Structure 1
Amino acid sequence: MNSSIFRRRRLRWSVIGLLVFVFAIALHLAPLAPAHSSTQPGSPVPVIQDQMLGIKPDWTRITLRSLPAILTSGSFEAPTDLIRELGYDPSRLWQAGQTADEYLLLGDFQDSFQLQRFSLSDIAALVGLDWEALRLADLALVGWQTIADLVQAIPDLADLPVREVPPIADLLQGQLEVPQTIAEVVQNEVLAELSLGELNLEQYELSAIPGLIDAPLETFQNWQQSVIDQIPGLADVPFANFPNPIVEQGVVVGMVDVVFGPAEGDRTNTISGSYVEGFNVPCQADCAHLELAQPELVKGTQWISGKYQQVQGGRGTLASANGGLEPTGRHPFGNAFKVAVLETDEATGTAETGLYFRMCVRNAFVDLGCTPYFIGPIPWLPIQEKGMIFLGQIKEGLSTTDSAEVAAAKGIDPQTGEPSPTPTPVARTSSSPGIATGGFINPAPGYPITSSFGYRTHPIHGDRRLHAGTDLGTPNGTIIRAADGGQVTFAGISGSLTSGYGRLVIIDHGNGSETYYAHLQGFFVRQGDIIAQGDPVGRANSSGGSTGPHLHFEIRQNGQPQNPMNYLS
């Protein structure tokens, strides 16, 4: 069939398409019912019917191990000089049929998911890992630690006698003079460099090294080279529970009008590309694509197939991998991976999509950047004509000119999508949306108060203490909004993922006034952002010391907690 026939077909569907779009808008305006999880027919991963975003992945049930197997084999070989500069070899190969945890490294996600912030005890709490049954050999990175490295990662070891740490005691057997304490061991340059890899680590329990399970993975030497499945339990942690979990980038949902095959050409109104080339890369030939119908923002735009179009990608030294090319596509879920349209079928009006990962290599001394997104494809959500598809950011995409200021305010390099070393806040002026109004709105209206401000029996610790805020019974994923305008002074983990505030946002509203938003699932903001009253700051969850999903909301004046209900308008 030629393109004119498809255009006639598109006209016949225009009225139906408009009705579908109106129905979608009606769903957006209707009271939100709880999302339900299922496996969509044809979907290789669990999905949620989200009334704001349509069919979306259920990140609470998707893990690096449960992602579909990669479809094609490939490899990356690091040059000798890069291996020498880095101190380890990031080369690898992957075979079709492997799952992501078998070929991706911890260092690949140090900026996106920040998995290195996990400790084994964090992982155990999330997936029910029985770490007491594990051996030192089960945590592969132990094998390339020296005694000095261990003390660097677990400083309290220095205070212990050698005899209380069996692996170290065994390493020192045969020495003429064995120091009494580990602190004395590391003062001896020769003994300090003895490697645990010289031992049979299968003979030791994890508890043989006190403090090992509580040390963040990033404190160990060369943690970046750990394959995901070499860290017990990590491959089974849901994406929603990562230290920096997936947050949808924007809220634009489009309706697919027509699916076109590779016979199409000369397409210039595109919304696909890369961080390097932007997301409006034209296509001259072999332009298989999706053409979008609704909303008006994306009407008539084309998402070009990454099977047929390659674009420039990557950054730094590693940008030359794969010839510097990656499939064209989009990043609706951030920069951890890329979503590409693959095969299109005009006859059935359907298309396949896939995920592509990349490699990033950096340590304290060397930053080699990231390869293009070329590790893939991994089967992803199917697409059909007149169906809805989540697009993420459009007008505020990180590649567009009008978004450079927005990206800088979020601490993101507009060209690469990578975090900038120092976030640059948008200047606060008389017309700035970040100016505080002086009043506070409810950050999650419509949800009941489940625990009020004041003294109470703590639900976890059992003692009587001040509850410094108000708890709102928000389900997982509820969008939490800023109670007033101001500057974000903190957006990170306070305590840990299983204690304290968990994922927390703090906003400074000036004049000594601050608001706290705790137990979040993920963030829409970064430290340094200037935001307006009502702007989304994150999604609700139960991270930190929490017995279930809710928002813990605080208002503080000059550092002292106040009853939020006395302030909300």
Structure 2
Amino acid sequence: MLPFVLSAALLEVVPSGKVPSSIPTASSTATIPTVMITRGQEQTVTPDWSRLSFANLPAITQSGSLNGQKWSAGQPVEKLLTLGDFQDSFKLQDLNLYAIAVATQMPIKLVKLSQFKLLAGQTLADLALAVPELEQLPVSTVKPLSDLLKSAKPSYRLTEKTLPQLLEQDPTLGALSFQNFDLTGYTLDKLPGLIHAPLQAFRHWQEAKLTDIPGLREMPWQQFPNPPSDSSMSGVIQLPTTMSYRLGKDSTSISGSSALGYQIPCAGCTSITFSDPPALQKKRWISGLAQWVQGGISDVAQSTTHSEPTGRNVFGKAFKVVVTEVSPKQAQTALYFRFCQFQQQISCSPYAIGPVPFLSYRNGELMPVGNLEIGTDRSITPQMLPSVKQILPTIPTEIPSTVNHWSELLSQILEQIKALLHPPATPTA
């Protein structure tokens, strides 16, 4: 049964399990590199994308599960997320090992082939397609290939043929893979052309964990093919000069999800409010601990029973910024990530993987909120989404005072939301 939380002015419905048992604190954001920016007479701290990487991103602070995948408090997100989870945001699949090495000063000649775990699942036929440079070299001169052939077929006689020529001569060789072959004795430079092949050229690249790609966790986000958006700092983006603690009746919301838009009301929910500039006056960013909303894209969104904390995609689609701890003096934020798949079209889960402690903002400081004109993700069909009125049932303005009336009211509200509210990522102890 769903518990109910009463405010002084109205009745607020909060689904069971939606409030995490732990809240990220300001001290846990110490590893986030930041830079000071100036807008007119005001200054604010924002992430320094030229230094922020997965390596210095704080770990997840709350255990949970989503679509059968589990994570634990203290787990780094790069051990959980894959290249496919960022295929329509950071576009990590467009990277190659050379670009990563340049950005991170990774010594190619010292990195073992076994550290590039995506290679283990490749067959010789896959490799011939992924690394065109192998068309120019005899297999006998490429030690990892020649050693693999000698190991799998000791009687096989190596010639001056290239890999494509060998496969044309004997197509059965194409099924050989590095799956059970020890690659620790070779470095990346021993497979010519490998470092220049885009990650998406390799079979099953979508399933590769970020930690399967050497150097990727150390690569600054600014160096990604599609880095976090800086549009939140200029143009139509509004940076408030004052925020305040608010617990009371609803006003205009600027938080929600990419699926439903960023104007999801939540009467009586804890939030921060803005006093300036005029476009943000009296607007509310509601706490993700108080409200969860429907999210996700396409098939994954339909198959999951989970939702996501309300918030904003301030810096793009790779992650969602959620207000967590709110006090009269400051607001703490956290990041939430998602799982994605791609078959006929992109499919993503709600942003429910987190929280990952992010930045905190004190009263009177500027806070990036993103583009206020961004609306619903158009890749989602109307049939997939209930209306805001369906998700947030109408609450009577006059609250009955008798126990019987209370019981009747609660029963009515339960009936309205029972089939519409989705539980969030399941927290575990």
TM-score, normalised to structure 1, is 0.57
From the two aligned structures, give the one with the greater strand fraction: 1
Match of 2:166 among 175, 185, 209: 185
- Aligned CA distance change for structure 1 residues 356 and 277 (closer, same or farther; 3 Å): same
Q: What amino acid maps onto 2:117 in structure 1? A: A
Structure 2 residue matching 1:50: 3-state secondary structure? strand
Q: 1:297 maps to which residue?
A: 279
Structure 1 residue corresponding to 2:59, chosen from 56, 69, 77:
69
Distance in 2 of aligned mates of 1:46 and 1:269:
32
- 1:133-532 aligned at under 5 Å gives the runs 133-173=110-150, 174=153, 177-178=156-157, 180=159, 181=161, 182-187=163-168, 188-250=170-232, 251-261=237-247, 264=248, 266-285=249-268, 287-320=269-302, 323-345=305-327, 348-362=328-342, 365-367=343-345, 369-394=347-372, 396-399=373-376, 414=378
Residues 217 and 390 of structure 1: is their aligned pair in 2 closer, same or farther, counting only changes over 3 Å? same
Q: What letter is aligned with 2:35?
A: I
| Per-residue Cα deviation, 1:400-426 (whole angstroms, up to 9, x for no partner) | xxxxxxxxxxxxx5466xxxxxxxxxx
CA contact (8 A) 2:221 2:228 kept: yes
Which structure carries more relative contact order (alpha carbon 8 Å, separation 6+)?
A: 2
Determine the C-alpha separation between the residues in 1 that align with 2:46 and 2:366.
10
Tell me, which stretches of 5 or more residues in structure 2 are unaligned? 1-6, 10-25, 381-429
- The 3-state SS of whatever aligns with 1:391 is coil
Give unmatched runs, 5+ long, in structure 1. 5-39, 79-91, 400-412, 417-569
> How far, CA to CA, are the matches of 1:383 and 1:259 in structure 2?
12
Task: Report if aligned partners of 2:238, 2:280 keep a CA contact under 8 Å in 1.
Answer: no
TM-score, scaled to structure 2: 0.75
2:211 and 2:197 map into 1 onto residues whose CA distance is 18
1:50 positional shift = 0.6
CA contact (8 A) 1:136 1:201 kept: yes
Rate the CA distance shift 1:234–1:323 in 2: closer, same or farther, 3 A. same
Does the 8 Å CA contact 1:179/1:185 hold for their aligned counterparts? no
Q: Is the 8 A contact 1:70 1:377 kept in 2?
A: yes
1:201 aligned counterpart, secondary structure: coil
SS state at 1:123 partner: helix
Q: How many residue pairs align between the two structures? A: 345
Residues 78 and 209, structure 2, Cα contact 8 Å, conserved in 1:
yes
Contact kept, 8 Å, 1:275 with 1:415, in 2: the verdict is: no
Paired with 2:56 and 2:90, the residues of 1 have a C-alpha distance of 17
Counterparts of residues 125-140 of structure 1 (less than 5 Å): 125-140=102-117
- Mark the CA change 1:368 to 1:392 in structure 2 (over 3 Å): closer, same or farther: closer
| 1:393 partner SS | coil
Tell me if the contact between 1:101 and 1:235 (Cα under 8 Å) persists in the aligned partners.
yes
- Point out the more displaced range, 214-223 or 93-102: 93-102
CA contact (8 A) 1:54 1:253 kept: no
Question: In structure 2, which of residues 87, 90, 98 is the aligned counterpart of residue 121 of structure 1?
Answer: 98
Question: Amino acid of the residue matched to residue 257 of structure 1?
Answer: M
Task: Quote the residue 2:35 is aligned against.
Answer: 48
The alpha-carbon deviation at position 271 of structure 1 amounts to 0.5
Q: Tell me the secondary structure at the aligned position of residue 303 of structure 1.
A: strand
**Distance (whole Å) between structure 2 residues aligned to residue 216 and residue 209 of structure 1:** 14
Q: What per-residue deviation string (whole Å, max 9, x for no partner) do you get for residues 18-56 of structure 1? A: xxxxxxxxxxxxxxxxxxxxxx98853122111137321
Alpha-carbon distance in 1 for matches of 2:118, 2:243: 50
Q: CA RMSD in A?
A: 2.3
Quick check: 1:144–1:197 contact (8 Å CA) kept in 2?
A: yes
Identical counterparts, % of pairs: 36
Please give the alpha-carbon distance, in whole angstroms, between the structure 1 residues aligned to 2:221 and 2:325. 27
